[in-house]
């Protein structure tokens, strides 16, 4: 009989239950493909009774040391989320000779370097496929499938909550607030959706992808993140008139030794693949030298899709697959200053009688050498699509417009995908 590998799992929420369910259901397939029988020996969670009703064959406790100190357990799975106590649990598991599988994007985006260096020091492995894009094998693609490629650009729709809300706003003239309520009703959004709709979840995921692709530090920068709360049904209407769809895009782009990094609502041409990623689905577009442009699409959240990624990591560990720790290369790349990035822009100016002031706005753009590509004027709205220009010049032009029109004007701005 094949050797049995014992697993300790910290956390038994949606993902933890998904891991347990899929492992039980597909035990024979997983054993055949990995060469080992995998058994979750110990589960650590808060609600022991509820977990025991679901997984009565496991040892269910509320003490993380039950996993850390058990010499029979060779793999620690962390699906708790958050920073504390997940960070100390993972570090102590590594120090006690255990390999680790984690789905914790927030932890890796902020403390990944420390965790991977500790794993390297103790000759342990840390796998984290489930930390980005749910069940889509994007981590494996970057670490293995594209290992011989130079990566130029990563563009992703990485948050199902935001994508569901924006998709709903495009399919019917519904407000952001109503689309959010519907997402919460259907279970796509949390009761407190701040982490998702403010772009923080997406930013953590892009930090991980950028570190893998470009060697940037696992150092999340919230100043480069903008969520979707400012997107209105009016902006959706004008985006559609111009031939675009609004998506929350995560973009990391390499230019020589500089990396531009941003998360923001972005106008995507409606005839492109990313424009048709709807509902709660995720997608990633990667541009590289040897392969060219490749696309990865699938369910980006949910118990069983994310469990699929966790179990893929467990199979890799059971097979004895060796991958180098994805340490950052802080001295080789630098984040480009935000005001130095060049982009095309969408801008909507809303104010009483603003339509009569189109000439003044055009004059201000001309003063800052910003060329207008398309323009629309109706219902106290002036809407422009600009040609590509630096963020510095564009911000200066917006400041001049604000000073010229005062408090009566509302300005709505989004990037346009190149």
Answer yes or no: 205 catalytic: yes
**Distance between CA atoms of residues 115 and 325, nearest Å:** 10
Structural tokens at position 324: 């180098």
Rama region for 215: left / alpha / beta (φ>0; ψ in -120 to 50; rest): left
Q: Are 98 and 69 in contact, with CB atoms under 8 Å apart?
A: no
**Separation of alpha carbons 92 and 108, rounded Å:** 16
Catalytic-role residue among 41, 98, 205, 247: 205
Radius of gyration for the chain, computed over Cα atoms and rounded to the nearest angstrom: 24
- 105 marked ligand binding residue: yes
For 302, the token pair is 């949910």
Q: What angle do CA 136, 137, 142 make, to 5 degrees?
A: 130
Q: Strand pairing of 258-269 and 410-416?
A: parallel
- What b/e string do you get for 332-341 counting C-beta neighbours within 10 Å, with b at 16 or more? ebebbeeeeb
Which tokens hold the place of 222?
A: 């919230």
Asked if 169 contacts 261 with a C-beta cutoff of 8 angstroms, the reply is no
Q: Is 190 annotated as a binding residue?
A: yes
Binding residues for NADPH: 105
Active site members: 205
Binding residues for L-homoserine: 190
Binding residues: 105, 190
């Amino acid at each position: 009989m094949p050797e049995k590998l014992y697993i300790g799992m910290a956390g038994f929420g949606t993902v933890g239950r998904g891991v347990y369910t899929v492992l039980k259901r597909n035990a024979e397939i997983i054993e055949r493909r990995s060469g080992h029988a995998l058994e979750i020996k110990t589960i650590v969670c808060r609600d022991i009774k509820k977990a025991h009703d679901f997984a009565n064959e496991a040892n269910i406790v509320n003490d993380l040391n039950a996993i850390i100190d058990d010499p029979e357990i060779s793999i620690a799975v962390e699906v708790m989320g958050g920073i504390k106590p997940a960070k100390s649990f993972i570090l102590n598991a590594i120090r006690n000779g255990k390999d680790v599988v984690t789905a914790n994007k927030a932890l890796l985006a902020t403390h990944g370097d420390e965790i991977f260096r500790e794993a390297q020091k103790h000759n342990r492995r840390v796998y984290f496929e489930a930390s980005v894009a749910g069940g889509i094998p994007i981590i494996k693609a970057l670490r293995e499938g594209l290992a011989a490629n130079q990566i130029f650009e990563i563009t992703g729709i990485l948050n199902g909550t935001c994508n569901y809300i924006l998709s709903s706003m495009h399919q019917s003239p519904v407000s952001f607030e109503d689309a959010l309520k519907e997402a919460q009703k259907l279970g796509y959004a949390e009761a407190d959706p701040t982490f998702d709709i403010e772009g923080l979840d997406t930013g953590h995921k892009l930090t991980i992808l950028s570190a893998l692709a470009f060697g940037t530090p696992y150092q999340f920068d919230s100043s480069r993140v903008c969520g979707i709360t400012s997107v209105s049904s009016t902006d959706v209407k004008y985006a559609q008139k111009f031939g675009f769809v609004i998506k929350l895009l995560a973009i990391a782009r390499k230019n020589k030794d500089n990396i531009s990094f941003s998360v923001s609502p972005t106008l995507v041409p409606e005839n492109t693949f990313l424009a048709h990623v709807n509902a709660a689905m995720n997608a990633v577009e990667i541009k590289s030298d040897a392969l060219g442009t490749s696309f990865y699409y699938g369910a980006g959240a949910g118990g069983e899709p994310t469990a699929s990624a966790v179990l893929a990591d467990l199979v890799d560990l059971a097979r004895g697959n060796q991958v180098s720790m994805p340490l950052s290369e802080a001295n080789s790349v630098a984040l480009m200053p935000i005001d130095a990035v060049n982009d095309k822009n969408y801008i909507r100016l809303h104010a009483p009688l603003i339509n009569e002031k189109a000439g003044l706005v055009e004059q201000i753009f001309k003063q800052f050498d910003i060329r207008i590509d398309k323009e629309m004027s109706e219902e106290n709205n002036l809407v422009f699509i600009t040609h590509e220009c630096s963020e510095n010049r564009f911000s200066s032009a917006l400041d001049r417009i604000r000073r010229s029109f005062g408090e009566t004007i509302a300005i709505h701005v989004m990037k346009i995908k190149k």
